[in-house]
Structure formats: C-alpha cells, structure tokens
Structure 1
Amino acid sequence: MIIAGLMTGTSADGLDLVIAEFLPDPTVGSDLVGADPTTLTVRILAERETPFDDQLAADILRLLEPTDLPLSLVSSVDARLGRFCAEALSELCTDHDLSPDLVVSHGQTVRHDITDGQVTSTLQLGQPAFIAERLGAPVLSDVRSRDVAAGGQGAPLVGLLDSLLLSEVEAPTAVLNLGGIANITVITPGQDPIAFDTGPANALIDILARRITDARQSYDRDGALAAAGTTDEDLLTALLSEPFYGRPAPKSTGKELFHAAYLDSFLEAHPHLGEHDQIATVTALTARTIAEAVRDHDVTTVIASGGGTRNPELMRRLGEELGEGIAVTSTDEAFGLPEGSKEALLMALLGWLSWHGLDGTAPSLTGAIGPRIAGRFTPGEGPLRLPEPLRRRPTRLRLAD
C-alpha cells in the first residue's frame, strides 16, 4: 500500500506530510502468519513540511488558549484546515507523481481535557471530507478518541512506532519527541514499552519567543534567545513544582495546561527577570524535566526527533542534564528517519494497521483497558472496501532506502 500521513502538532506551526510504501515481509505469507519476527518494510517516497498561512496559524493558536471563543471559529478552522491539508497533499502527490491508496490525517488537537489524570475528551480539527474529495482516496482520522473511550490517555501514540523500530534493542532506550509537548517512549528488553508526556518542550519557549521578537519569530531560532540569557534558579524551582511532573505514567498533557496565562502566573512573581533570562529558564525547564524522566528508567541512550532538535541551546542543556552516562542521538542517525517526518510516518503506520484490522494502541503505552483499532474512515471516490483482517500485528518495522 501507498499511504500518506499528515501530522499537525502542538506547536501549531504547519503540516508535516509523508507518503510511504508499506510492504509486508514476503517470507511469511500474505496474512503475516509465520516465522517471528514478522517484519513490515516501509519506504518513504516523499516528504514535506508546509507552514500554515499566517491567518490559519493565528486562529489555531487562539483555539489553543484556555479562553471562551465563538463556535464559528472552531467551525471555520475545521474547514480551512481540511482544505489546507487537501491542497498541500495534492501538491506533494503531483510533484512526485504519486497516488495514495489511503490518507491518514491527524488534524490539529485543540482540546485534550484531563481530570485527575484521566483524559475525558480529545478534539482534533481538520475536516477529512475535503481531503477525500480532493484526492479521491479514503481518509482515516480521529485516531485518538477510541483509546480515550477505552480509558486510555489517547497520547502519545508514537510509542507503537518506536517499539517496532526498536524491537531488537539491547539496552534501555528512550525515544524522545520535542514538539510543543515533549514525550518519551521507553523500550527495555524483556518488558512492555511505556510512553508518556514529560511536560513542555517548545510550548513555553515559543510563547516567550513571540513576545521577545514582537511576533516576528514564532520560535527560538537556533536557540539564540535562550543563549543570550541566564537560568534563574528561583523561577526554575517554582516551575518544577507543577504536580504533573510527579505523576506516574501513563500520562499526557497539552496546552490546556502549559499556556501563556499559566506561564505568566510564575513570571509575575519574578518581575525583576529580563526576557532573555525568562526564556533561558523555561528552556532549562524542558531539559530538566526530560532528563529526570529519562533517568527514572535507567535509560542509556536517547533518540530525539521533533522541532526542538533544531534548537542547539535546548539540545546542549539536555545533554548537560543527562550527563556523560547517557548518549543522545537523532532518529536520522539511529534509523535513517528524518526527525521532521517521524510523526507523519506514525500516522501512515496507524493507517496501515487500521486498514488491516489491527490494533494501533497498547495498554502499556496509553493505559487503556485493552488494545484498540485506531480512527474512523471517510470513503474516497468509491465505496469503502477493506481487505480481510490480518491476524497478527508486525513485530518489527524496517525502513528501506
């Protein structure tokens, strides 16, 4: 199958697209029943990052703030983001002369509500019907809700991809994603994988970057703003008092917690700090909370991806927090997988699994009462015809050149 994966993350800065070909291991038969490990080979055919236009980006960011907003804005963003995804994917398909059999669109998470550690609802916008109409292919969307309905966190979902990529790992390894929120998957030989959000990655950094540059920058380009400041230990100690950090996995969070008003509640108690010291301190917060989560699981290697890997100051601070005993590398180096394409590839993988009737979640990763098939389908230009369900999920994912 050729599957397109579309991902918009908590940084809300644009759309990541991957078109990939999925090839089951021919040595074990078409129903994937046979010798273990069963391997699924994936070849990336095309990839792209497409930034949102200014108005769409601004309206998405409005929806991510914990304030009352008109329902008309929700409806408008749902439609505009759906059209944006359809246009961006159509251009990528045309440029590479590709026609996907299936599209998987994550959409933009605008709410991920949590009460006493339990996710009560999750909402992603980006109407899939526009993609199905434009591309003529069926679309899988709403990939988190079924896990939430089964008592799971619905996030992070990337743990399944990580565990398939690291099926033969020999020492405890953490796969880290640095988006708006940071999450890790911990793979330990002989144990079920676990995954959880550690706290903010770029969420608070981005808020301050916009303020410092009068919105000329939506992020701390090259970490230059944080590098110009000094960490304030009093502010850092206050920020570390957030109860979320001490909660056990599985757990998830989002901008419902780590938003501008939340940050300001701490900054107001430290009015003497300059803006560069503020951003240096929240950068230190990201590094510290990730490092503490990693050390709790005796990890020896961290494999990082996401936009935060492009911030050398953040990566430097993370390396210092982890110390010499823990190696830090990237998905590019470890798997040959571009860091910006990983979560879009996850969407494509979830599509392949759901199309074949296979679970896309696991209880050890999300805390649900059992594994669940992810998402719901929007038919393409013809009737939806799913193949006979497979009986076994692959145990290994191999990336082909």
Structure 2
Amino acid sequence: MAKSMVVAGVMSGTSVDGVDVAICRVSPAIDASSTPRVKLFGHVGSAYPKAVRAAVLQAMDANAISVAELSRLNWRLGEIYADAIEKAQSQLGLKAALVGCHGQTVYHQGAVEKYLGKPLRTTWQIGEAAVIAERLRVPVVSDLRPADIAAGGQGAPLVPMLDYCMFRSAKVTRVLQNLGGIGNLTAIPAEGGVDGIMAFDTGPGNMVIDACMRRLYEREFDRGGAVARTGQVVPGVVEQLLATEYFTSLPPKSCGREQFGERFVSQFIAMCRNAARDVRDEDVIATATALTSASIVDAYRRFVWRHVGQAAPLSRVEFVAAGGGTKNGTLMGMLRDGLEPLGVKLRLMDEFGVPAQAKEAIAFALLAWLSWNGLPGNVPAATGAQRAVVLGKVSYG
C-alpha cells in the first residue's frame, strides 16, 4: 500500500542554467475521488559550473559528438545532481527517502521520423542515476519519458499530472504555463477530470532570447527583460514564424533544441536583419521576446479556447505562469497585454505558494512517488500515449 514519503525532485531544463531540487512530502489520495497530495518543504537551486554548462550546450546542438564525451558528461552530471540534492538536504534540514531525477535532455524528437527503415520517436536524458543512488543511499527514479514514448506518446509534457493534482478547480478554468527554455502549458477546464486536460509545448520559452543574448551581447540572458524593453519588435517576423509548421500543428506536440536551437537562432537573426533597415541588436531581442509571448497567446487562441470553450464562459480563466521566464518583466508585460483582451487573468505560480522555479522539480518528485508505488504518471490526453503507464527506471541505493 502506498505511504507518505519525503521525496527530492530534481530538474535541469533546456535553459541549461542549473539544477533545481524540491524536497516534498507526497502522500496517498484520501479517497478514490481525490489525487495524491504534495507538500513542498523547500526548494534550492544550484548553477551549473561554467565548463559543464558549455559542455551540455555543445552536446545539445552538435551534429556529431563522440561517444566518449557523452559518456563522461553523463557521469559528471550524475555527480552534479548528487551534489545538488545534498546541498538542498543540508540547507533544508531534511533527508529524502526517494529521488526523482529528470536528467538533462540532450535530444528529444516527439514527432515520428523514419530511422534505419523504422518510424520512431526518441528522447534522451543523461545524468547517471546510479551515482546519485550510491552517494545518497536511497532509490532513484530516473529516465521518466521513454515509457510514455513506448506507449505511443511524445514523452512530453509530463508536468500535467502535478498540475491536475495541485491546481484543478471546480470554479476556475486554469491554464498553467511554464516558461523554461521551452514553453509548455496545461489547460484544466473547471470541474474537468484528468481526461479533459489539454497540454503541449507552445514553442520557445527563454531559449531563443537567451541564445540571441549570448550571440549579440555575450550575456547569458536578458536580466529582467531590460534589453528587450529598449528595442522595437521587427515588423512581420513573428507573424511569419507563427505560420510555420510547429506552431500550426495540432496538439499533442512537443519540441526542444532540435526545433529552436542554434540553427533556428541563426535563421531568426537573419530574418530580423532582412526584414527592415537599421535593425538594432535590441530590436532582435525584443522580437525574440515577442515570439515567445505571441506563440503562447496564439496557442491559447488557436487550441486552448476551443478546448475549454464550453467551460470558460461559465467560469473565470486564470493563466498561471511559472519558470525562469517570469523574471523577465518585458515578457510578462507582453503576455499580459495579449491575454487580458481575451478576458484571461495572468497570475504567477508564487501566488499559490509554489516558487516559479520549483514547479518542475516538484513534478518529478510526484512522478517518482507514483512510479515507486506502481502508479501511472503520464496523462495520455496530454502526450498522445495509447494508455497510462508507470514511468521511469529505478536505481537502488
């Protein structure tokens, strides 16, 4: 029988800015009509060492990389995750009995493509879980996406299970938007069950903005959106991009650096330069920020409203943002300006007692607990899987 456990959830996302550890208590559902309960004790973030971050980015965007480099990076990340969990446990004065570790995505292909004569989807997260299990002497649930892909899903998004457990409402339709490297949302109609969830990746979150900042300003990100605030959105570029295949494709869908990495950034900057005369660097950053905002608003208009339309007129619609992008004031202002005319209220995850940076780590704590107890963690309505499945692989400490 499932029991209450203290679980450490570990997340390192496509922004590659570091490792987030959330230590939570996860408890069984009270009855058949409820869901598991999650209580956050605390959250601690750790930055990647500069050389490690560079190695991860290189691995993600490389057309070719040696097996030796990938193997070494896998084991080095295992040590970094173990360090981050130990740091969190020390700072919070808690000891986890179980770890859920997402790992670092180095490749994700959610759409079917033919390879060696066979159509397939694939995903790969690295960070050796055996290292974490040995260091902490507790079981580690890792590699959580492949089981969903094997069941015909896209392996993403996996956060909707947490969204449903923590944020569903009888009176309010909620859209939970994460602003990490990639943007993803979960739409939960008021009074809706788990089968009524819609969830998908909206496109780039911080990824294109950050990459443009590195190229044009040699900075890792646009702090507070200060650079974008001084620029002008280049006319026509965002509209042209929103007409391309990924943005117009129906959910379920997922994306990553394969769609919006360095190759896309080169094309994006060229589009900005060619669209108008005297385009300044700050105009490129403003346009990248507008692409993130507009893709989210467009996703709501194009897909989400249709999905929640029957419930939305009878209930409030709240758009709840989380992730590192919430610190970008210019991006949040653009989102607010795009959503409010639609009658949608923009809120921050922090208002619900969940730090914006902690949400995905909390999600992987919940998923680890579900897997440890033999319970499904994916939401087929979100990923497109044929059935609900138990996620992950276990390394015993």
TM-score under structure 1 normalisation?
A: 0.88
1:369 and 1:39, CA in 2 relative to 1: closer, same or farther beyond 3 A?
closer
> Which of 59, 65, 74 is the matching residue for 2:61?
65
Helix, strand or coil at the partner of 1:337 = coil
Query: Contact 2:14/2:257 (CA < 8 Å) preserved in 1?
Result: yes
Q: How does 1:182-201 map onto structure 2 within 5 Å?
A: 182-189=183-190, 190=192, 192-201=196-205
Task: For residue 211 of structure 1, report the CA deviation from its aligned partner.
Answer: 1.9
Deviations along 1:310-331, whole A, 9 cap, x unmatched? 0000000111111331100011
For the Cα contact (< 8 Å) 2:110–2:155, is it kept in 1?
Answer: no
Which residue of 210, 228, 231 maps to 2:230?
A: 228
The counterpart of 1:309, out of the listed 320, 326, 330, is 326
Alpha-carbon offset, residue 20 of structure 1: 0.9
Point out where structure 2 has 5 or more consecutive residues left out of the alignment.
Answer: 114-118, 306-311
- Residue of structure 1 equivalent to 2:309: none
CA contact (8 A) 1:2 1:20 kept: yes
Change (3 A) 1:303 1:46: same
Indicate the residue corresponding to 1:5 in structure 2.
9
Q: Identify, as 1 or 2, the structure richer in helix.
A: 2
Aligned match for 1:246, one of 245, 248, 256: 248
- 1:236-275 aligned within 5 A: 236-269=238-271, 270-271=273-274, 272=277, 273-275=279-281
Match of 2:25 among 6, 21, 26: 21
1:87 alignment partner AA: D
The equivalent residue for 1:144 is 145
SS where residue 36 of structure 2 aligns? strand
In structure 2, the CA distance between the partners of 1:135 and 1:229, relative to structure 1 (3 Å rule), is same
Question: How much has 1:171 moved relative to structure 2?
Answer: 3.7
Deviation per residue, 1:12-57 (Å, 9 max, x gap)? 11000011112335xx4xxxxx4x5335332222310100000000
Equivalent-residue separation in structure 2 for 1:178 and 1:242 (angstroms): 21
Matched, 1:357 2:378: no
Query: 1:233, CA displacement in angstroms?
Result: 1.4
Q: Counterpart of 1:157 in 2: which secondary structure?
A: coil
The Cα RMSD (Å) is 1.7
- Residues 77-136 of structure 1: per-residue CA shift (max 9 Å, x gap): 111110011112112223333221111111000000244589611000100111111100
Q: What is the match of residue 388 of structure 1? A: none
Query: Structure 2 residue aligned with 1:204, among 205, 208, 215?
Result: 208
Question: Structure 1: where are the runs of 5+ without partners?
Answer: 29-33, 381-401
CA contact (8 A) 2:110 2:253 kept: no
Partner of 1:256, secondary structure, is helix
Is residue 158 of structure 1 aligned with residue 162 of structure 2? no
TM-score (normalizing by structure 2): 0.89
2:49 maps to amino acid: D
**Identity percentage of aligned residues:** 38
Structure 1 residue 267, shift from structure 2 partner: 2.8
Alignment counterpart, residue 85 of structure 2, candidates 82, 86, 89: 89
Q: How far off is 1:234 after superposition?
A: 2.3
SS in 2 for 1:173: strand
Structure 1 residues 201 and 119: CA distance shift in structure 2, 3 A: farther
CA–CA separation in structure 2 for the residues paired with 1:83 and 1:274: 42
Equivalents in 2 of 1:136, 1:115: separation in Å? 37
Partner of 1:366: 383
CA–CA distance in structure 2, aligned partners of residues 304 and 47 of structure 1: 18
| 1:172 partner SS | strand
Query: Residues 105 and 139 of structure 1 are in contact (CA less than 8 Å); yes or no, is this contact kept in structure 2?
Result: yes
Give the Cα separation in 2 of the matches to 1:288 and 1:109.
25
Distance 1:45 1:119, change over 3 A: farther
Match of 1:375 in 2: 392
| Structure-2 change in CA distance of 1:43 and 1:229 (3 Å) | same
Counterparts of 1:111-126 in structure 2, within 5 Å, are 111-116=107-112, 120-126=121-127
1:66 deviation in Å? 4.4
The letter for the 2-side match of 1:289 is S
3-state SS of paired residue (2:155)? coil
Letter in 2 for 1:140: V
Cα distance, 1:274–1:160 mapped onto 2, change above 3 Å? same
1:263 to partner: Cα distance: 2.3
Q: Which whole-Å deviations, capped at 9, do the CAs of 1:354-381 have from their partners, x for residues lacking one?
A: 111110012101100000101010011x
Local SS of the residue matching 1:268: helix
C-alpha separation in 1, matches of 2:8 and 2:57: 25
Paired residue secondary structure (1:130): helix
Q: Is the partner of 2:133 in helix, strand or coil?
A: helix
